[in-house]
Structure formats: structure tokens, C-alpha cells
Amino acid sequence: MKFIAIALGGAIGAYCRYWFGAWLAARVNIRAFPLAMVIVNWLGSFGLGVMTALALNYHLSIPTAVTVGFFGAFTTFSTFSLEAVQLLRQRQYVFAFLYIVASIFGSIALFALAYTLF
């Protein structure tokens, strides 16, 4: 049953990532920089930080379907890697550097912020 819950959470997380990317692309015309994935990874890191803090500080049981399933599929290191390499291959070195720094340090900072706040 746990595997089904994780798969369902993952399906919802993947759909939300796709939906958010399409939604943002329709509103913001930034083709050279993968802004949607940066924001998704920031949101996912913040959300997982909230879930972790609630679980540890308030002894709540956060379902694996949420932590591993939803957040695991909502955020993605593989897409981050693909987009970073694409920027490098296109010789967009400044965008590649900004993307890598913003994704990694922003995600860690937002996780820590959420964990601290909650």
C-alpha cells in the first residue's frame, strides 16, 4: 500500500511541476533561463522544509507519499542537470552559473528557512 501512496504522490507532484512550468511560461517570456525549474525547486525545498520541521518539532507523521512521492517528483535534480548542461552547450555561461547557484543555494536556503520558521 505504501508503494501505491508514493506513486500517487509522485504522479501529483510531477503533474504540478508540469502545470506550474506551463503556467509560468505562458506569463513570463524568459526562454534563455529556466526560471520555472528554479522556482519549482525553491518551492519544493521550502515545502519539504516545512514538512520536516512539522514532523520533528510537533511529532507529526508526514506520509511518505508527501515527502518522497510529491516533493520527490515535484522537484527534480535530473531536469536541473539537463537544463544546466543545455545552457553550457549553448555557451550561455552567465545564465548557467546563475541557474546553478540559484538552484543549489536557493533551495538549501529556503529549506533551512522553512525548517527554522516551522
What residues are designated binding site for Na(+)? 72, 75
Which grid cell sits at 28?
513570463
Annotated binding site: 72, 75
Compute the chain's Rg from CA coordinates.
15
